[in-house]
Amino acid sequence: MAYSFGSMKIWRKIDLLRNVLIGFVLIAMILVSVASGADTRQKEDALAAAENWLTMIDHGEYAKSWKEAAGYFKTVITEGQWVQSMQEVRKPLGKLISRKVKSLTPKTSLPNTPEGKYVVIQFETSFEKGKSGLETVTPQLERDGKWRVAGYHIQWQ
């Protein structure tokens, strides 16, 4: 004998609730997947921007790298200062031998920078003249939707 609740048998109500619950779980899984995909896409775009920018540095195109940098970067250092520092620090190292991504970390805030979307990317890098180090390149998502480098640092090992 089946019990009835209102005009619907109890087992049908349980079946309906189960289906609704499954629907909510599927929607939640889709939302998590979409968010994860967007995060992955942002990391990929930020990495591509960082690698393109580093290629300019590797080819000695220091002024061009400054012009292609994020607006924030340009408020911190002038083009002349940037070119001079790269000629003093980077040029003597010689050609790039290898560069390997060590980590990619999305951030929404960094010390002494405006709020925004950033990806802190660390590369293990070695150069022709025997030096190796950890390069940290930080692209920022700018208002026009493009990733541009907002920070660069090299730590020698």
- Domain range annotation of the chain: 8-156
Give the residues across from 149 on adjacent strands: 139
E-strand ranges in 4-131 read 4-5, 8-9, 96-107, 118-127
Tabulate helix, strand, coil % of the chain (nearest 5). 50, 30, 25
Q: What is the pLDDT of residue 76?
A: 95
Q: What is the pLDDT of residue 112?
A: 83
Amino acid letter for position 112: N
Q: What is the pLDDT of residue 111?
A: 86
3-state secondary structure 91-118: HHHCCEEEEEEEEEEEECCCCCCCCCCE
CATH class in words for 8-156:
alpha beta
Q: What is the pLDDT of residue 109?
A: 87
Tracing tokens 């939640």 back to the chain, one arrives at 28
pLDDT digits over 20-29, tens only? Answer: 556 555 454 4
Residues of the chain with pLDDT under 70: 1-38
